[in-house]
Amino acid sequence: MPKLQGRVGLLTGSATGIGRAGALLFASEGAALATLDNNQAEGERTVTTIRQAGGRATFINGDVSNPGDVQRAVAAAVAEYGKLDLVWSNAGIGVFKTVPDTDVDEWDRIVGVNLKGAYLVGKYAIPEIIKAGGGTVVITGSVNSFVADRQWAAYCATKGGVLMLAKAMALDHAPDGVRVNCVCPGSVDTALQERWLRARSSLPYEDAVAADQAAHPLGRYAEPEEVARAALFLSCDDSRFTTGSAVMVDGGLTAQ
Ligand SMILES: NC(=O)c1ccc[n+]([C@@H]2O[C@H](COP(=O)([O-])OP(=O)(O)OC[C@H]3O[C@@H](n4cnc5c(N)ncnc54)[C@H](O)[C@@H]3O)[C@@H](O)[C@H]2O)c1
């Protein structure tokens, strides 16, 4: 039995990387999906791939830091598929800088996408999830929800923030039957990871990758789908007694 049969979801950051893998996986497990991203071409490509495989998905071109766009995405899920059971706030960005070097605009943008975006999805989606009789919220945190990296200050601040946001929402909405959790990846093979590593390391890129992989006790990066599988666990009944928690998908990075 598909794990999300009959469920309707909203997923942000669905155009590339972890979110794209998540959209394909959730749709293959039976969910009908509204997907929100500001990369129109790739966002539409995700939806086309899902439809070609016989799944149900719709794309909303918008910015997770814009209240109107998030409202539009929640409304699209309900209008298209009749209700909303689950959301995964996954869109995220970062800039490789210390606090003094981070421009005020950069700070506002990173906080706007990573933290305010997760707040907006919660704000507009939770009332619909309650109307549907309960469901789940997942937010993509990071190992940086627990430990910091150098020159990654704004990003680390937001990833710490979303973990506490998830815990606060978990407490407030447990009586409503809404569970809220974070999925926290280590290094995942995506465009965001490559940009971060190229900025961070003076080594040739292949050597930097090898060193970063070796820092993970399992000795490699996660595939985007491996993160999506943890988010699937948190979005289906297999995790029915799990709320306010973080699932690490970090190959043991934060165990040491
Ligand atoms: N790749 C890693 O190693 C890693 C590790 C830990 C956490 N994460 C987190 O995973 C999530 C997904 O990142 P990824 O690695 O797949 O990178 P990615 O850059 O491939 O994906 C990010 C997605 O978010 C979208 N997006 C960015 N800004 C947006 C906005 N304002 N509105 C709507 N959509 C927007 C992008 O278009 C893209 O589709 C992020 O929250 C990131 O912080 C990634």
Q: What is the pLDDT of residue 126?
A: 99
On the CB side of 218, how many CA atoms lie within 13 Å of its CA?
A: 14
Q: What is the pLDDT of residue 45?
A: 98
Q: Assign 48 to helix, strand or coil.
A: helix
Best of 12, 18, 74 for a ligand 1 pocket test (most atoms within 8 Å of beta carbon):
18
In a domain, 151, yes or no: yes
Catalytic residue among 81, 119, 155, 221: 155
In a domain, 96, yes or no: yes
Cα 92 to ligand 1 centre (Å): 4
Residues of the chain scoring pLDDT < 50:
none
Same-domain check for residues 64 and 172? yes
Q: What is the dihedral of CA 12, 15, 18, 19, to 10 degrees?
A: 30
On the CB side of 133, how many CA atoms lie within 13 Å of its CA?
A: 3
Same-domain check for residues 156 and 207? no
Same-domain check for residues 50 and 164? yes
Q: Which residues line ligand 1 (CB under 6 A)?
A: 12-13, 15-19, 36-39, 63-65, 90-93, 113, 140, 142, 185, 187-188, 190-193
Same-domain check for residues 36 and 144? yes
Residue bearing the CA closest to ligand 1, atom 34? 37
Same-domain check for residues 44 and 158? yes
What's the domain range around 54? 8-186+224-240
What helix, strand, coil percent values describe the chain, rounded to 5?
50, 15, 30
Annotated catalytic residue 119: no
Domain count, the chain: 2
Same-domain check for residues 111 and 203? no
